[in-house]
Amino acid sequence: MSSARRTLGLLGTLRASLSRELRVALRSPGNIVNPLMFFVIAVSLFPLGGRSDPAYLSGIAPGVIWVTALLAVMLSMESLFRGDYEDGSLEQLLLSPQPLYFHLLTKVFAHWLMTGLPLVLLAPVLAMMMALPGEAYGALLLGLLLGTPTLNLIGAIGMALTVGLSRSGVLLAVLVLPLSIPVLVFGAGLVDTALNGLPLMGLASLLGALLVLAAILSPLAIGAALRISVN
Amino acid sequence: MLSVSNLYCERDERVLFARLDFAITAGEVLQVRGTNGSGKTTLLRILCGLNHDYDGDVLWDGQPLREVRESFHAGVFYLGHSPAINRTLTPLQNLRWYCASQGYEDDDAIRAALAARGLGGYEDLPCYQLSAGQQRRVSLARLALSPARLWILDEPFTALDRGAVAELELLIADYAERGGAVLLTTHHPLQLPTPPRVLDLDVLAGRRT
């Protein structure tokens, strides 16, 4: 009977965990599509609401795209732990003998694949609408690629703290947005740097360093916050 | 296996239990009794490591819980009020995730465990299409897949039909016979070959003698 039984190493467990997260995300497409819709609509309000001449738009484009992306990421965080908290899976995750640290990292990574990556891929389309000059596209993509996972990791801490509350929206924003400021500053700055024809290495490295720091430290904070939330 | 000494817990400035001492050993079934709100669930959540608001010591194999977290989590199965079943996934997918979290994969064992809980043929249906009782059975199928030495079950008979209740009682008796320990709460009169040891929180708190 136990002939088919295979012991899984840490990587095997994480692969199973990743495929579960992706599957769950695909089963409720609203959680994926809604933040993207918000991103598209919010950015497209700027040419409509403000002046629509390209010189003006391209001036505000880096800030507008980055701020909207940040808000879209915050919007997407709501679904990260909510379902697992409500059906009790979160308790099982906390009681699993496997290391929680890597499980949480996997969970956030799966969330980024489903919500952050589409956001990054959509950004060039919106940049075109904002009349962003061609030479800045690379910097925008690079910045978002490094920045959105960081925002997800920071947002996950806030979400873990507020998952026990029935409405966490505003509180989540108050907790997380201040922590996201460095990513926003460096990310939008990276696009400006490219517009001015300066080397990107410095700011890109800073964004990379923030990502590494967040990936190392935030699972600890998320784990601690979840333990408080299920208490 | 699991022992508690001088446990004290209060909730909203109300003492739930104080100076609580007991131990559970291999092959034993211990039923925690008490009226609603007497702290049964709180006690169980403290014992499985989900609740940390207490004073006193909880020892696993004689060691404080905090120091042996990994072997403790590997040795304990907890079933709470919520089934821990994702409603959009199928029973098979849910249990695969459970097995992976215990560090192995074995689809044959999962199918056997589901069939044993009367869910043969339902393996690939999304759980939201199952009834509350069937979801509960999926949750209980994990008992057969868990390598734990101690089951902590909070109201395991909820939503089960009479046949399933009898099956679960059999499962518990069999597990205890094989050297497993069971700690459970229930308002249902347990039918076990050897009557369970009872821990009555109302008596301990002096609300009833």
**What is the token pair recorded at A65?**
């795209």
Q: Running along chain A, 231 residues long, what does each successive block of 10 average in pLDDT? A: 74 92 92 95 90 88 95 92 91 90 95 96 94 93 96 95 85 92 95 92 96 96 93 82
* % residues pLDDT > 70 (chain B): 99
- B172, pLDDT greater than 90: yes
Instruction: List the beta bridge partners of residue B199.
Output: B32
Q: pLDDT tens, A20-55?
A: 999 999 998 999 999 999 999 999 999 888 788 888
Q: Which CATH superfamily is domain B2-87+132-204 in?
A: P-loop containing nucleotide triphosphate hydrolases (3.40.50.300)
Residue A84 vs residues A87, A107, A226: alpha-carbon distances, Å: 5, 11, 11
Chain B CB contacts of A89 under 8 Å are 84-86
| Torsion angle, alpha carbons of A32, A38, A40, A43, to 10 | -150
**Is pLDDT at B138 greater than 90 in this prediction?**
yes
The token pair at A13 is: 């467990």
H or E stretch including B23? strand B14-24
Q: What value does the mean pLDDT take over residues B108-134?
A: 92
Residues belonging to chain B with any Cβ–Cβ distance to chain A shorter than 8 Å: 48-53, 70-71, 73-74, 76, 78, 80-89, 93, 96-98, 100-109, 112, 126
Asked if B89 lies within 8 A of A7 by C-beta distance, the reply is: no
- Residue A40 CA to residue A174 CA, distance in Å, equals 23
Nearest CB among A3, A86, A95 relative to B78 is that of A95
B49, B50, B101 member nearest A98 (Cβ): B101
Q: What is the pLDDT of residue B207?
A: 73
Q: Which of B52, B74, B86 sits opposite A87 (nearest CB)?
A: B86
Number of residues written out for chain A: 231
- The rounded mean pLDDT for chain B is 90
Region B102-128: mean pLDDT is 91
Domain ranges of chain B: 2-87+132-204
CA distance B69 to chain A (A): 8
Which tops the pLDDT comparison, B66 or A221? Answer: A221
The single-letter code of the amino acid at A40 is V
Task: Kindly state the tokens that stand for B62.
Answer: 């004689």
Give the nearest chain B residue to A12 (CA atoms): B100
Separation in Å, CA of A32 to nearest CA in chain B: 15
pLDDT value of residue A3: 55
Sheet order of strands, B29-33 included: B76-79, B150-154, B181-185, B29-33, B197-200
- Is pLDDT at B70 greater than 90 in this prediction? no
Cα angle for residues A17, B152, B139 (degrees, 5° grid): 45
**Can you tell me which residue has the tokens 């949480």?**
A104
User: What is the least distance, in Å, from the CA of B181 to any CA of chain A?
Assistant: 18
Phi, psi of A15 (to 5 degrees): -65, -45
Quote the pLDDT of residue B31.
93
Record the tokens describing residue A60, joined without a space.
């505000």
Question: Distance between CA atoms of A98 and B98, rounded to whole angstroms?
Answer: 11
pLDDT at B66: 81
ipTM of the prediction:
0.88
Is the pLDDT at B209 greater than 70? The verdict is no
Q: How many CB atoms lie within 10 A of CB B163?
A: 9
Alpha helix ranges (H) inside B65-200:
69-75, 91-101, 107-116, 132-145, 162-177
Return the residue of A nearest to B75 by Cα.
Answer: A97
Please give the pLDDT value at position A2: 47
Chain B residues with CB under 8 Å of A93 CB are: 101
What is the rounded average pLDDT of the residues B114-135? 91
Q: How confident is the model at residue B201 (pLDDT cuts 50, 70, 90)?
A: confident
Residue ranges in A78-136 assigned as alpha helix (H): 82-87, 89-95, 100-111, 117-129
CB within 8 Å: B109 and A91: no
In this structure, the strands spanning B55-60 and B2-11 are: antiparallel
Nearest to A231 among B53, B93, B100 (CB): B53
